[in-house]
Structure 1
Amino acid sequence: MPIFNLKKISSLSYRFLQYYEYILAKGCLSLLRSLSPEKASNIGGVICRLIGMKLPVSKVADKNLQLAMPYLTFIERKKIIAGAWENLGRTVAEFPHLARLKQNTSEGAGWEVVGGEYLTEQSAKTGAVLFVSGHIGNWEMLPLGVAKYGMPFSSFFRAASNPYVNQLILNLRDEAMGQKIPMFAKGSKGARQALKHLLQGHRLGVLSDQKMNDGVEVQFFGRPAMTSSAVASLALKLQCPIIPGYVQRLGPARLRIIVEPPIDYSQYAENNLDNIHRLTQVINDKIERWVKQNPEQWLWLHRRWSKELYR
């Protein structure tokens, strides 16, 4: 008989590594918090830009830009990719500061809202509401900003493989919101929980700009793209408002939340597959317009279109 249980030792080692990773992540967050929001943002942007531009995934971003905006030169694409990496680094580094950012400050770190009247109007009503956005600017600011208008919403998230780190991230989100908000892991179980949440009259936010293989095929930048139909399906099922909006980066830890009027889908309100496609296309068109306005602020780093296009 073996003296040591190798399986148990392996499990303990893995848990130790996970905990070590958690301590490292917590230390990094503490370091970022010790800095001003602007300085943390600048450092995160520089580091992510320098490292990211050397990673193979930057080639994916370049291919995406060739597919989406074939008129761009190589230099123009490279500038956008560098900006996307910088925006990602800033977004991560600003995360522990979100709860402390001030609204409507005249300069420096802070945030403002354009279109807040749509949130004020909706907050006076009851019932389910869907918010739709994309990975633009500092997208983590959107739930916090909307909550300040009395409209806190839940959202989907991709759980970190390390459960300690995952809980750390969730705790930071709750801290920023000033309250504990249900979050739903991506997948069938999370989808069922989200539907139940909406049926109870609550609110849900969805980032609809990434490839979803089990979604529907609609156009994005003039090319077929598999896209999540969650917002369209849920809205048509529940006949609830869809409020689109995104975050524009104005500078280091300085953000503008842009809220647009609720989407009018009355002309195809019947809940069927054709209308799900039509409404999903409307959402994609909005996201495409937002990306075109500030392409360096979108997350170009994933394979958005058919894998055949990347060969």
Structure 2
Amino acid sequence: MTAPLGKRLRREIRVRGLLLGWPLLRVVPLGLGAALGWLAWYLVPRQRRLAREHLRIAFPEEDEAERDRIGRASFANLGRAAVETARAQRLDIRTTVDLDPPGEALLREAHAEGKGVVVATAHIGAWELFARRVAALGIPCGTVAKEAHDPRITALLERSREQGGVRVFWRGAPLSAREILRFLRDEGGIFGILIDQDTRVAGHFVPFFGRPAFTPRAAGDLAAHLGAPLLFACAHRVASGVHRMVVRRIEVARTGDRDRDSFLLTAAATKAIEEEVRKRPDEWVWMHPRWRTQAVDISGKK
């Protein structure tokens, strides 16, 4: 069914705006990106309301002023992250994202097991950059993503990631699942999956800030199916334009029941995400409807 003309025009304006604005983001200062994000806090009331609601859930002990400070800072972080992503090809990724020797050792040891490496991650800091840092190790690196509504945006995102050495597998594409398994099993690739958003994919309800949150299960499924190691990784901003990677191995007692193991791995990875968000709450996407799906709605999630 064709969308109404007005909706199609608005979508075309947004797409053209992004395509024209993307090259500009490569040259604007990080501070301007942060300022635009900060301004968005005041200009998008629905997202501001969601952020406030979620911050009350996560930090009931904080007063409203402190929660609003975190919310504004998280919007500013998105602005910085957009600029950093646009200029990523011009960055020296090894100095932009610091990966300490223990973190690199964890990645290399997991890779040496020969089963592929699944990395659960989250929208923390500049999440697009740390995949490039992993790719810089010389190990095949990939991720899964949903195609944008417009093929021009999909092409832009794919080009940006693959220029950084990150192979993109599009969710729902023909043979995508087989290609991902082959990438892990046959190429020994490191495969990153964002698991911190409530999206229309298969998932588990696991605790997140004390509430059941519908969480994508793909990372847990792959690790359980292949017997592969599951790591958690993210990159925190430590200075203007500088990030530090956090890498840890997700250890659970695997039962041999793939569904149960997937649940346990997903819950443990989500716990790791919460721990990192608590350290730097200003770097997470509080405007996302993280607790949107309730248990009674699970039949609608496909």
TM over 0.5: yes
| Structure 2 unaligned spans of 5+ | 296-302
Q: Per-residue CA shift, 1:239-258, capped at 9, x if unaligned?
A: 01112110101233221122
CA 1:196–1:269 in structure 2 vs 1: closer, same or farther (change >3 Å)? farther
Equivalent residue in structure 2 for 1:48, among 28, 37, 62: 37
Shift of 1:206: 0.6
* Separation of aligned partners in 2, 1:64 and 1:257: 26
User: What is the RMSD of the two structures over their aligned residues, measured on CA atoms?
Assistant: 3.0
Shift of 1:189: 6.5
Please show how residues 229-240 of structure 1 align to structure 2 within 5 Å: 229-240=217-228
Structure 2 residue 261 is the aligned partner of structure 1 residue 259: no
Equivalent residue in structure 2 for 1:139, among 118, 127, 138: 127
Structure 2 residue 199 is the aligned partner of structure 1 residue 206: no
Shift of 1:130: 0.5
Structure 2 residue 61 is the aligned partner of structure 1 residue 71: yes
Equivalent residue in structure 2 for 1:279, among 262, 265, 273: 265
Match of 1:154 in 2: 142
Match of 1:82 in 2: 72
* Separation of aligned partners in 2, 1:160 and 1:185: 11
Moved more, 150-159 or 123-132: 123-132
Q: Is the 8 A contact 1:44 1:92 kept in 2?
A: yes
Match of 1:93 in 2: 83
* Separation of aligned partners in 2, 1:18 and 1:277: 38
* Separation of aligned partners in 1, 2:6 and 2:92: 43
Q: Per-residue CA shift, 1:96-155, capped at 9, x if unaligned?
A: 2222222565xxxx2211322222334555332101110000000121000111233211
TM-score, length of structure 1 as denominator length: 0.82
Q: What count of residue pairs does the alignment treat as equivalent?
A: 289
The alignment-based identity, stated in percent, is: 27
Shift of 1:273: 2.8
Q: Is the 8 A contact 2:120 2:193 kept in 1?
A: yes
* Separation of aligned partners in 2, 1:307 and 1:184: 24
Please show how residues 166-185 of structure 1 align to structure 2 within 5 Å: 166-177=154-165, 181-185=167-171
Structure 2 residue 206 is the aligned partner of structure 1 residue 218: yes
Match of 1:6 in 2: none
Moved more, 77-86 or 184-193: 184-193
Q: Is the 8 A contact 2:93 2:132 kept in 1?
A: no
